[in-house]
Protein backbone atom coordinates (compact mmCIF):
# COMPACT_ATOMS: atom_id res chain seq x y z
CA UNK A 1 0.00 0.00 0.00
CA UNK A 2 1.38 3.43 -0.86
CA UNK A 3 1.89 5.67 2.15
CA UNK A 4 -1.37 7.35 3.03
CA UNK A 5 -2.90 6.95 -0.44
CA UNK A 6 -6.32 5.51 -1.25
CA UNK A 7 -5.76 2.10 -2.72
CA UNK A 8 -7.90 -0.84 -3.82
CA UNK A 9 -4.90 -3.08 -4.39
CA UNK A 10 -4.80 -4.69 -0.94
CA UNK A 11 -8.18 -6.39 -1.17
CA UNK A 12 -8.72 -10.01 -2.19
CA UNK A 13 -10.67 -10.89 -5.31
CA UNK A 14 -13.55 -12.30 -3.27
CA UNK A 15 -13.93 -9.14 -1.16
CA UNK A 16 -17.59 -8.09 -1.06
CA UNK A 17 -19.01 -4.57 -0.85
CA UNK A 18 -20.65 -3.87 2.52
CA UNK A 19 -23.82 -2.91 0.72
CA UNK A 20 -24.08 -6.53 -0.44
CA UNK A 21 -23.40 -8.14 2.92
CA UNK A 22 -26.52 -9.43 4.71
CA UNK A 23 -25.02 -8.76 8.16
CA UNK A 24 -24.84 -5.04 7.31
CA UNK A 25 -28.38 -4.75 5.97
CA UNK A 26 -29.55 -3.04 9.16
CA UNK A 27 -27.42 0.01 8.41
CA UNK A 28 -27.79 2.66 5.72
CA UNK A 29 -24.48 4.13 4.50
CA UNK A 30 -24.04 7.88 4.78
CA UNK A 31 -22.71 9.53 1.63
CA UNK A 32 -19.98 12.13 1.83
CA UNK A 33 -21.40 15.65 1.98
CA UNK A 34 -19.35 17.95 -0.25
CA UNK A 35 -21.98 20.71 -0.18
CA UNK A 36 -24.20 21.97 -2.97
CA UNK A 37 -21.45 23.36 -5.15
CA UNK A 38 -18.17 21.49 -4.56
CA UNK A 39 -15.17 23.12 -6.21
CA UNK A 40 -13.52 19.82 -7.04
CA UNK A 41 -15.28 16.47 -7.08
CA UNK A 42 -12.95 13.62 -6.18
CA UNK A 43 -13.67 10.47 -8.15
CA UNK A 44 -13.53 7.86 -5.41
CA UNK A 45 -13.73 4.20 -6.30
CA UNK A 46 -16.91 2.24 -5.65
CA UNK A 47 -15.14 0.35 -2.87
CA UNK A 48 -13.93 3.56 -1.23
CA UNK A 49 -17.40 5.12 -1.25
CA UNK A 50 -18.89 1.91 0.09
CA UNK A 51 -16.45 1.49 3.01
CA UNK A 52 -16.46 5.11 4.10
CA UNK A 53 -20.21 5.39 3.67
CA UNK A 54 -20.65 2.60 6.22
CA UNK A 55 -17.92 4.02 8.43
CA UNK A 56 -19.73 7.36 8.60
CA UNK A 57 -22.95 5.52 9.47
CA UNK A 58 -21.21 3.52 12.23
CA UNK A 59 -19.65 6.65 13.73
CA UNK A 60 -22.97 8.50 13.46
CA UNK A 61 -24.68 5.99 15.72
CA UNK A 62 -21.54 5.35 17.81
CA UNK A 63 -21.55 1.64 17.18
CA UNK A 64 -18.58 -0.06 18.82
CA UNK A 65 -18.61 -3.69 17.78
CA UNK A 66 -16.42 -6.37 16.26
CA UNK A 67 -17.86 -5.69 12.83
CA UNK A 68 -17.12 -1.97 13.23
CA UNK A 69 -13.54 -2.83 14.21
CA UNK A 70 -13.15 -4.88 11.02
CA UNK A 71 -14.65 -2.01 9.05
CA UNK A 72 -11.92 0.32 10.28
CA UNK A 73 -9.35 -2.15 8.95
CA UNK A 74 -10.80 -1.84 5.47
CA UNK A 75 -10.96 1.94 5.80
CA UNK A 76 -7.29 2.01 6.85
CA UNK A 77 -6.38 -0.09 3.83
CA UNK A 78 -7.98 2.52 1.61
CA UNK A 79 -6.54 5.52 3.42
CA UNK A 80 -4.07 4.84 6.22
CA UNK A 81 -3.56 8.58 6.74
CA UNK A 82 -7.17 9.20 7.81
CA UNK A 83 -7.06 10.43 11.43
CA UNK A 84 -10.74 9.66 12.11
CA UNK A 85 -10.32 6.01 11.14
CA UNK A 86 -7.58 5.45 13.71
CA UNK A 87 -9.20 7.52 16.45
CA UNK A 88 -12.48 5.65 16.12
CA UNK A 89 -10.62 2.34 16.00
CA UNK A 90 -9.04 3.23 19.36
CA UNK A 91 -12.46 4.09 20.74
CA UNK A 92 -13.71 0.65 19.68
CA UNK A 93 -10.68 -1.14 21.13
CA UNK A 94 -11.37 0.47 24.50
CA UNK A 95 -15.07 -0.27 24.41
CA UNK A 96 -14.51 -3.94 23.54
CA UNK A 97 -11.58 -4.35 25.92
CA UNK A 98 -9.82 -5.87 22.93
CA UNK A 99 -6.53 -7.78 22.94
CA UNK A 100 -3.99 -4.97 22.59
CA UNK A 101 -1.11 -7.31 21.79
CA UNK A 102 -3.09 -8.48 18.80
CA UNK A 103 -3.55 -4.83 17.87
CA UNK A 104 0.18 -4.24 18.28
CA UNK A 105 0.88 -7.04 15.83
CA UNK A 106 -1.67 -5.64 13.39
CA UNK A 107 -0.35 -2.07 13.47
CA UNK A 108 3.20 -3.36 13.15
CA UNK A 109 2.32 -4.83 9.76
CA UNK A 110 0.49 -1.67 8.75
CA UNK A 111 3.64 0.31 9.57
CA UNK A 112 5.73 -2.00 7.40
CA UNK A 113 3.34 -1.19 4.53
CA UNK A 114 3.15 2.53 5.41
CA UNK A 115 6.47 3.40 7.05
CA UNK A 116 6.23 7.15 6.44
CA UNK A 117 2.68 7.68 7.62
CA UNK A 118 2.30 9.74 10.79
CA UNK A 119 -1.10 8.34 11.80
CA UNK A 120 -0.01 4.70 11.92
CA UNK A 121 3.02 5.56 14.07
CA UNK A 122 0.80 7.60 16.39
CA UNK A 123 -1.57 4.66 16.72
CA UNK A 124 1.36 2.43 17.63
CA UNK A 125 2.50 5.00 20.18
CA UNK A 126 -0.90 5.00 21.89
CA UNK A 127 -1.15 1.21 22.01
CA UNK A 128 2.34 0.94 23.54
CA UNK A 129 1.30 3.50 26.16
CA UNK A 130 -1.87 1.56 26.96
CA UNK A 131 0.09 -1.66 27.34
CA UNK A 132 2.99 0.07 29.07
CA UNK A 133 5.19 -2.40 27.22
CA UNK A 134 7.97 -1.16 24.92
CA UNK A 135 9.60 -4.57 24.48
CA UNK A 136 8.96 -4.79 20.71
CA UNK A 137 9.66 -1.19 19.76
CA UNK A 138 13.42 -1.17 19.29
CA UNK A 139 13.28 -4.22 17.04
CA UNK A 140 10.39 -2.75 15.05
CA UNK A 141 12.09 0.60 14.48
CA UNK A 142 15.34 -1.17 13.64
CA UNK A 143 13.59 -3.20 10.94
CA UNK A 144 12.02 -0.04 9.50
CA UNK A 145 15.35 1.79 9.61
CA UNK A 146 16.93 -1.14 7.79
CA UNK A 147 14.52 -0.24 4.95
CA UNK A 148 15.28 3.48 5.18
CA UNK A 149 17.89 4.60 7.71
CA UNK A 150 16.60 8.18 7.63
CA UNK A 151 12.89 7.54 8.27
CA UNK A 152 11.89 10.47 10.48
CA UNK A 153 8.82 8.73 11.96
CA UNK A 154 10.81 5.66 12.97
CA UNK A 155 13.49 7.81 14.63
CA UNK A 156 10.87 9.89 16.41
CA UNK A 157 9.15 6.78 17.75
CA UNK A 158 12.46 5.20 18.74
CA UNK A 159 13.56 8.30 20.66
CA UNK A 160 10.22 8.50 22.45
CA UNK A 161 10.47 4.84 23.52
CA UNK A 162 14.10 5.14 24.62
CA UNK A 163 13.50 8.30 26.62
CA UNK A 164 10.15 7.27 28.10
CA UNK A 165 11.27 3.77 29.14
CA UNK A 166 14.96 4.52 29.78
CA UNK A 167 16.31 2.17 27.11
CA UNK A 168 19.56 4.04 26.47
CA UNK A 169 21.99 1.27 27.41
CA UNK A 170 22.79 -0.27 24.01
CA UNK A 171 21.84 2.62 21.75
CA UNK A 172 25.38 3.90 21.16
CA UNK A 173 26.38 0.47 19.84
CA UNK A 174 23.42 0.48 17.45
CA UNK A 175 24.17 4.02 16.26
CA UNK A 176 27.85 3.20 15.81
CA UNK A 177 26.86 0.38 13.45
CA UNK A 178 24.68 2.73 11.40
CA UNK A 179 27.43 5.34 11.19
CA UNK A 180 29.92 2.65 10.15
CA UNK A 181 27.54 1.60 7.38
CA UNK A 182 26.92 5.15 6.20
CA UNK A 183 28.91 8.02 7.68
CA UNK A 184 26.67 10.49 5.86
CA UNK A 185 23.61 9.32 7.81
CA UNK A 186 22.70 12.55 9.58
CA UNK A 187 19.88 10.79 11.45
CA UNK A 188 22.36 8.42 13.09
CA UNK A 189 24.62 11.30 14.12
CA UNK A 190 21.58 13.06 15.56
CA UNK A 191 20.66 9.93 17.50
CA UNK A 192 24.19 9.73 18.88
CA UNK A 193 23.91 13.29 20.15
CA UNK A 194 20.49 12.48 21.64
CA UNK A 195 21.98 9.60 23.65
CA UNK A 196 25.01 11.61 24.76
CA UNK A 197 22.80 14.43 25.96
CA UNK A 198 21.11 11.94 28.28
CA UNK A 199 24.42 10.46 29.45
CA UNK A 200 25.87 13.91 30.08
CA UNK A 201 28.73 15.77 28.42
CA UNK A 202 31.38 15.11 31.03
CA UNK A 203 34.99 15.98 30.16
CA UNK A 204 35.68 12.29 29.57
CA UNK A 205 32.67 11.89 27.26
CA UNK A 206 33.57 15.03 25.31
CA UNK A 207 37.16 13.92 24.79
CA UNK A 208 36.08 10.44 23.69
CA UNK A 209 33.49 11.80 21.28
CA UNK A 210 35.81 14.44 19.85
CA UNK A 211 38.31 11.68 19.04
CA UNK A 212 35.51 9.56 17.61
CA UNK A 213 34.21 12.26 15.28
CA UNK A 214 37.53 13.58 14.00
CA UNK A 215 38.45 10.01 13.05
CA UNK A 216 35.28 9.85 10.93
CA UNK A 217 35.90 13.27 9.43
CA UNK A 218 39.37 12.09 8.48
CA UNK A 219 37.83 9.25 6.46
CA UNK A 220 35.38 11.44 4.49
CA UNK A 221 36.38 15.09 4.70
CA UNK A 222 33.53 16.52 2.66
CA UNK A 223 30.79 15.08 4.89
CA UNK A 224 28.53 17.62 6.57
CA UNK A 225 27.07 15.28 9.21
CA UNK A 226 30.15 14.74 11.43
CA UNK A 227 31.14 18.40 11.08
CA UNK A 228 27.74 19.38 12.50
CA UNK A 229 28.18 16.78 15.25
CA UNK A 230 31.61 18.21 16.09
CA UNK A 231 30.19 21.71 16.39
CA UNK A 232 27.45 20.39 18.64
CA UNK A 233 30.01 18.74 20.90
CA UNK A 234 32.12 21.88 21.15
CA UNK A 235 29.11 23.92 22.22
CA UNK A 236 29.30 21.83 25.39
CA UNK A 237 32.13 22.16 27.89
CA UNK A 238 33.56 25.68 27.65
CA UNK A 239 31.59 26.34 24.46
CA UNK A 240 34.81 27.28 22.63
CA UNK A 241 35.73 25.75 19.28
CA UNK A 242 39.38 25.77 20.38
CA UNK A 243 38.81 24.08 23.74
CA UNK A 244 40.46 20.89 22.42
CA UNK A 245 43.93 21.52 20.92
CA UNK A 246 43.59 18.23 19.05
CA UNK A 247 40.65 19.68 17.07
CA UNK A 248 42.60 22.79 16.10
CA UNK A 249 45.62 20.72 15.09
CA UNK A 250 43.44 18.29 13.13
CA UNK A 251 41.66 21.02 11.17
CA UNK A 252 44.82 22.96 10.39
CA UNK A 253 46.54 19.75 9.30
CA UNK A 254 43.68 19.04 6.88
CA UNK A 255 43.97 22.55 5.48
CA UNK A 256 47.73 22.35 5.14
CA UNK A 257 47.32 19.04 3.29
CA UNK A 258 45.27 20.85 0.65
CA UNK A 259 41.79 19.82 1.83
CA UNK A 260 39.26 22.50 0.85
CA UNK A 261 35.99 21.03 2.06
CA UNK A 262 33.54 23.89 2.60
CA UNK A 263 32.67 22.40 6.00
CA UNK A 264 36.32 22.54 7.04
CA UNK A 265 36.70 26.09 5.78
CA UNK A 266 33.51 27.24 7.49
CA UNK A 267 34.74 25.70 10.74
CA UNK A 268 38.08 27.49 10.39
CA UNK A 269 36.33 30.82 9.77
CA UNK A 270 34.51 30.50 13.08
CA UNK A 271 37.56 29.13 14.86
CA UNK A 272 39.86 31.96 13.77
CA UNK A 273 37.21 34.58 14.51
CA UNK A 274 36.89 33.13 18.02
CA UNK A 275 40.67 33.13 18.50
CA UNK A 276 40.96 36.69 17.20
CA UNK A 277 38.42 38.10 19.66
CA UNK A 278 39.82 36.04 22.54
CA UNK A 279 43.24 37.62 21.92
CA UNK A 280 41.79 41.11 21.65
CA UNK A 281 39.81 40.77 24.88
CA UNK A 282 42.76 39.33 26.79
CA UNK A 283 45.20 41.99 25.51
CA UNK A 284 47.25 39.33 23.75
CA UNK A 285 49.81 39.56 21.00
CA UNK A 286 48.60 42.06 18.38
CA UNK A 287 50.58 40.49 15.54
CA UNK A 288 49.02 37.09 16.27
CA UNK A 289 45.56 38.66 16.43
CA UNK A 290 46.16 40.35 13.08
CA UNK A 291 47.15 37.00 11.61
CA UNK A 292 43.79 35.51 12.68
CA UNK A 293 42.02 38.59 11.32
CA UNK A 294 43.59 38.08 7.91
CA UNK A 295 42.85 34.36 7.92
CA UNK A 296 39.13 35.04 8.45
CA UNK A 297 39.12 37.48 5.54
CA UNK A 298 41.02 35.15 3.24
CA UNK A 299 38.84 32.14 4.05
CA UNK A 300 35.62 34.08 3.49
CA UNK A 301 36.92 35.29 0.15
CA UNK A 302 37.95 31.76 -0.78
CA UNK A 303 34.49 30.45 0.08
CA UNK A 304 32.74 33.22 -1.86
CA UNK A 305 34.87 32.91 -5.00
CA UNK A 306 35.69 29.22 -5.19
CA UNK A 307 34.48 26.69 -2.62
CA UNK A 308 30.91 27.82 -1.82
CA UNK A 309 30.05 30.18 -4.68
CA UNK A 310 26.32 29.53 -4.42
CA UNK A 311 26.44 31.37 -1.07
CA UNK A 312 28.94 34.03 -2.10
CA UNK A 313 26.76 36.87 -0.77
CA UNK A 314 26.54 35.09 2.59
CA UNK A 315 30.31 34.78 2.90
CA UNK A 316 30.85 38.41 1.94
CA UNK A 317 28.32 39.32 4.59
CA UNK A 318 30.22 37.21 7.16
CA UNK A 319 33.48 38.95 6.22
CA UNK A 320 31.91 42.40 6.42
CA UNK A 321 30.23 41.62 9.72
CA UNK A 322 33.55 40.41 11.13
CA UNK A 323 35.31 43.59 10.01
CA UNK A 324 32.58 45.70 11.59
CA UNK A 325 32.74 43.83 14.91
CA UNK A 326 36.54 43.92 15.00
CA UNK A 327 36.50 47.65 14.26
CA UNK A 328 33.98 48.26 17.06
CA UNK A 329 36.09 46.25 19.49
CA UNK A 330 39.19 48.18 18.47
CA UNK A 331 37.39 51.50 18.96
CA UNK A 332 36.05 50.43 22.35
CA UNK A 333 39.55 49.33 23.38
CA UNK A 334 41.03 52.65 22.37
CA UNK A 335 38.37 54.44 24.38
CA UNK A 336 39.16 52.43 27.49
CA UNK A 337 42.90 53.09 27.08
CA UNK A 338 42.26 56.82 26.81
CA UNK A 339 40.29 57.04 30.07
How is 28-82 classified by DSSP, letter by letter? PPPPP---SS-SS-----HHHHHHHHHHHHHHHTT--SHHHHHHHHHHHHH-TT-
Angle (deg, nearest 10), helices 152-165 and 137-147: 160
Question: CB-based contacts of 232: which residues, under 8 Å, 6+ apart?
Answer: 193
Which of 297, 306, 304 is closest to 324 using CA atoms? 297
Please check whether residue 30 is in contact with residue 70, taking contact to mean a CB–CB distance below 8 angstroms.
no
At CB < 8 A and 24+ separation, what contacts does 56-65 make?
A: 56/29, 56/30, 56/32, 57/27, 57/28, 57/29, 57/30, 58/27, 58/88, 59/84, 59/88, 60/30, 61/27, 64/91, 64/92, 64/95, 64/96, 65/92, 65/96
116 is catalytic: yes
Quick one: CA dihedral 74, 77, 79, 80, positive or negative?
positive
Nearest CA to 191 out of 207, 210, 168 is that of 168
Longest dimension (CA), the chain: 98
Yes or no: say if 216 and 225 are a contact pair by the CB < 8 Å rule: no
How long a stretch of residues is the chain?
339
Quote the strand ranges of the chain, DSSP E.
none
In whole angstroms, what is the distance from residue 156 CA to residue 103 CA? 21
DSSP letter (8 states) at residue 19: G
- Of the candidates 116, 163, 221, 295, the residue annotated as catalytic is 116
- The catalytic site residues sit at 116
Amino acid sequence: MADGNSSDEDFSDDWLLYSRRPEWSDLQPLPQDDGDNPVVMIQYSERFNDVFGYLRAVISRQEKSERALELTKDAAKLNAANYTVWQYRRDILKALNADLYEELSYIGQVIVDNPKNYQVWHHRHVIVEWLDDPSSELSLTESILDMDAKNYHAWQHRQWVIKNYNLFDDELHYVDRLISEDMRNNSAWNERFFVLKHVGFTPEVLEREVNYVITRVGLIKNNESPWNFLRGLLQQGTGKLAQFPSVVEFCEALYNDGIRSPYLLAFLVDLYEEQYFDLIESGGNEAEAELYHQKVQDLCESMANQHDKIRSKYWRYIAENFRRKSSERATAGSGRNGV
